[in-house]
Structure formats: structure tokens, C-alpha cells
Chains A and B, each alone.
Chain A
Amino acid sequence: MWRDARLVAAKDLRIEVRSRVALNQIAPFALLVLLLFAFALDSDRNVLRDATPGLFWVAVLLSTLLAVQRAFSLEAADGVRDALRLSGLHPAGIFLGKVASVAIQLVALELLLALGVLVLYDAPLTSPLLLGSTGLLATLGLAAVGCLYGVLAAGQRVAETILPLLLLPALAPLLLAATQAVAAASDGVASEGWRWLGLLALFAAAYLAAGVATFGILLDDG
């Protein structure tokens, strides 16, 4: 299973390196969202700084939608999905591989967005350990939920419209916990943040388990 996961992740990342869709389209989109927030909030630096944790994670969430759609549109074309099923790879391995490749792209995206809010919103950078672990756990959760619903929507005629409807409500608890953890870090009350981190870990673990258990059903649905 782990070997299959590595194979799938390496395949996706290789495609990404060669096609540069994430770099050329998703990353600029994420930064654009940051700019739009600044316009919408009347360029008030205080408001922006206070709202930074929430705005940051909403930008990540919107970019996740694109990243997940991209990850599964790869499989939709040319019957790759059938090829994957016929390849004898373990379904759970495919799921974990997809999660890993999406998560790696999201981490890169988050680093870029973090740089963005530091420069554009004048956000404070405190408790780097808490921020880092929040980022990692939240990313794992985002990728797990994204891949679970992503494969479900992949290849549907209504894929673009149904994915946000499925994904965003499911990610609401994650948005809340990640925002609170980052807010706690920037307010200098790290102890508060670690509790939210526990919720993030639970969320990620639950969805990873759900994905490992059900991905076979979702994928092998011919």
C-alpha cells in the first residue's frame, strides 16, 4: 500500500513539475484572492491584520478546490481512471498517494500565501512551531477531504459545481480550528492554539481513515 502511494504521488508530482499548472495558475489565483480581500476590506491595514488568520485560510480553502479539481481531472482524461483500477494498485494506496501529492502542493502554496500576508497585510509572525504544525495538520486534513470528495466528483458532467458544495461544508470545522490556532499564535497565547491543533489532528485522522476505508468503493464503481 505504501509503495503504491509513493508511486501515485510521484506520478502526480512529476506531471505537476512538467505541466506547471499549480505554479502558473493556482498560485497566482491564491495571491489574487489576497488582493481581493484587501480591496473588499477597504485596504484598512488594522482590519486586515486582525482578520489575517481567517483570510489566509479562506484563500487556502479556495485554492484547495482548484488543486483537487486539477488532481482528479488528470485521471478523468484518456481513461486513466480505468488504467489505475486495472493496474492492481491498492485503492487505499492510490488515495494516500493522491493525498500526499495534493498536500505537498498545498504546503508550497501555503508558504507562498504566508509570505503574501506577511508583506501585504503586515501580519505578525510569532510561535513558528505552532504555525508550522497547524499548517501541516490542516494541510493533511484539506488533502484528505479533498481527495475523498474529489474522486467522487471526478469525471462527472457537473464536477465543477458539485465539488465545492460537497467540500466546503465538510471543511468548515477545519477552517474554524486552523483559524483559531493561527489567531492564538499571533495573539501570543500559544497554549490556546495547541488545543485547536488537537482538533485538526483528529479531523485529519478521521478523514484519512474514511478515505482508506471507502476509496475502493468510490473508485471501483464501474
Chain B
Amino acid sequence: MNDTTASKATRVLGAVTLAGIGLLVLFGLVISGPDGASVGVDANGAPTGQGEVVRIMYMHVPTALIAFLAFFVTVAGSVGYLLRRSEWWDLVAHASAELGAVLLFATLVTGALWGEPTWGTYWEWQDARLTTTAVLFFLVLGYLAVRRLPLERGRRSRLAAVVGLLLGPATIVCHYATTWWRTLHQGPTISRLDPQIEGTMLFSLMLGMGVFMALYAWLMLHRFRVLWLENRVEDLGLDLALAERRAEAGASGASTTGPSPTPATGPTPTGAAS
């Protein structure tokens, strides 16, 4: 067992991700220009030129979309677990929900920071996308709380899978909120045949998508491995405790140097508690 959850592939992926983040900073903050030319109109018919503020988009939009993707992976993992009852699907669902929660939180924060200069308020209650995102965030927190219930693992996984399934409709509503209701958010901008932005802005946004996708994949692999090791530690825990107690009983008669935690036959958790 290694001291790390990295493999050659994840090291390469990590290096690519970090380089990509650097590139994204370069493109997002330096190379791409401010949004001067109006490329569309908002609900009031005013041009949507946003100046420098538009740069938040290169993080806000990718984190939001990858968070949605992460929750769909959780839903898929939950379905997979309920059908197959395999640890693999369970861990995929768990790891993806955690990463999704982090990404969604980043979305909310960057969205609030973007809202202040453009809408004049950090939080707009009339906006369906904002409110559904907030509800989704709390639903995910609930899911993660279920994952921490002090239960036997199989039972906890079954309960979590059912709660995970219910994230599906919430994610769909949140994703389509801008299409179904009139909100301050823009409707689809790039997922159509005539993208609403172009040039370095479009490239920076696409780069952001790629970078956050790579970040998600990279962290997902590590989180999956850590969770898998945690399960192994849990499996070992009882054996280890038994072995320790036996060693204590043996040692207390022979010497006074205290309990010996590593009997010859006992398994050791080296590297597993990362």
C-alpha cells in the first residue's frame, strides 16, 4: 500500500489541471478584453456590456455547470448502487456529491460577487436560478449529512442512495430555471448554434470549462481512493482492536512497557488514514 492516493495517471492529470488553472488566470485576467461591445440585450433591452466585471464568468459558469454534472454523477451512482449494490457506485456517488457541493458553493460566492456590480445586489430573491441553487445546496448538505450517519455501512449507503436519487429533479429544475422562468440570469449563451460571445472571451470560457472539468476528474479520483481506503480502515478497525487487546493481555503479564499496538499477525493501517 502506498503512502499516497496518487498514481502516474493522476499525477499527469494534476499537472495538466494546475497548468490549465495558470493558463485560465492568464486568459481570464490578462489576454481576454473587457466586455465593452454589447453582444446581447438583457430583459430591459439595455446592452449587456459589463466591462471588467465579466471576467468572473470564466469561473462562475464552469463551476456551476461542473457542479450540475457532479450531481448527475451522484444520481447515477445512487441508481447504480440500488441496482448493483456495489461499493464502487456508492463511492462514486459520495465523492461526486462532495465535490459538487464545493463547486456549487464557489458558484454561489462568485455569483454574489458578480451580482453586486451588475445587478446592484449580492442576492436577488426574485431570481429563480439563485433561489433554486440555494435550495439545491442545502439538499446536498442534507445528503452529505446522511453520509455521515453513524450506521452500519450498507445501511447508510442504502439510505444515502435514496436521498441521492432525489437530488436529480432538484438539479434539473435548477439547471433549467433560466429557461422556464424569466430571471436576471442570461438564458443559454454558448449551448446554441450561434454563440452569444466570441473571440478570446469564448475561448477563455471554454478553457474554464475544460480546466474545471479536469479539476473535477482529478479530485474525484483522489476522493474516490481516499473513501475506498476509509472503508478498508473501517473493515480493519475491528480486527485491529481485537489484536491490540490480545497484545495488551499478553504484554501485561510479560512486561511493563505498555500496550504494543502491532502484533505480528495484525494488519496495520499504514498510509490508509490520509
Q: Which residues of A contact B (CB under 8 A)?
A: 149, 152, 156-158, 162, 165-166, 168-170, 172-173, 206, 210, 214, 217-218, 221-222
**What class of interface size applies to chain B in its complex with A?**
20 to 34
Known A-B contacts A157-B150, A162-B146; A206 and B169 likewise in contact (beta carbons under 8 Å)? yes
Known A-B contacts A152-B162, A170-B166, A172-B135; A221 and B142 likewise in contact (beta carbons under 8 Å)? no
A214, B165: Cβ atoms closer than 8 Å? yes
A156 to B149, CA, bound (A): 8
Interface string of B109-137 (1 = CB under 8 A from A): 00000000000000000000000000100
B162 contact from A170, A218, A222, Cβ within 8 A: A218
A166, B82: Cβ atoms closer than 8 Å? no
A169, B135: Cβ atoms closer than 8 Å? yes
Interface string of B76-105 (1 = CB under 8 A from A): 000000100000000000000000000000
Q: Does B207 contact A (CB under 8 A)?
A: no
Q: Does B159 contact A (CB under 8 A)?
A: yes
Give the residues in chain A near B12, CB-CB below 8 Å: none
A165 contact from B138, B158, B166, Cβ within 8 A: B138
B163, A166: Cβ atoms closer than 8 Å? yes
Give the residues in chain B near A168, CB-CB below 8 Å: 138
Known A162-B142, A169-B141, A218-B159; 19 more pairs at CB < 8 Å:
A152-B162, A156-B149, A157-B150, A162-B149, A166-B163, A169-B135, A169-B139, A169-B142, A170-B139, A170-B166, A173-B135, A173-B173, A210-B166, A214-B162, A217-B158, A217-B161, A221-B155, A221-B158, A221-B159
Give the residues in chain B near A149, CB-CB below 8 Å: 163
A222 to B146, CA, bound (A): 16
